Amino acid sequence: MRIRISAPRKTRLHQLAYTLVEVVIGVAIVGIAFVSLYAGMSAGFAVTQLSRENLRATQIILERMEGLRLYNWNQLCYSNMIPLNFTNYYYPLTGTNEAKGVAYRGTMVVTNAGLTPAASYGDNMRKILVTVSWESSGVQRIRTMSTYTSRNGLQNYVYSN
């Protein structure tokens, strides 16, 4: 009878365990995935906020442009009825200035049309430039829109002058 002394065999439980290197690599992969997910969500929220602010600036500009349709030629060119500077807010219906959100500051400028090449009806036209600026995340943003109007424009259809 022979007695053999053999090396201890790995138990089944020992074979199913992970090494420290595998655990570290797994934690690193999960960490990278969470950081990427967080960065993607943050960028998505920032893009959404900027898109909303751009849309509100465009709405403010269009509101000012549409209001110009109701002015007659004399009011448009020779009076002080058109406000040169204005301020509007992201949430204009709230009570306090702090809750109104982003402040949009704008200007309206009425100038000669400056048509190129010059036209015979150029003196009967004006160029209207509306500019809105606001600060978002420490960056100054500006949107501008221009249009032309004429002495015999739409206002003569709305009001007989």
Burial (CB < 10 A; 0-12, 13-18, 19+), residue 141, is middle
pLDDT at 92 over 80: no
* Sign of the dihedral defined by the CA atoms of residues 77, 83, 89, 92, in that order: negative
pLDDT in tens, 60-82: 999 999 888 888 888 888 888 88
Is the backbone of residue 100 left (phi > 0), alpha (psi -120 to 50) or beta? alpha
Radius of gyration of the chain (CA): 33
Who has greater pLDDT, 16 or 28? 28
Burial of 97 (0-12, 13-18, 19+ CB in 10 A): exposed
pTM of the model: 0.70
b/e for 22-42, b at 16 or more Cβ within 10 A?
Answer: eeeeeeeeeeeeeeeeeeeee
Phi, psi at residue 152, to the nearest 5°?
-105, 45
Say yes or no to pLDDT of 121 above 80. no
In percent, how much of the chain has pLDDT > 90?
41
Q: Is 109 left (phi over 0), alpha (psi -120 to 50) or beta?
A: beta
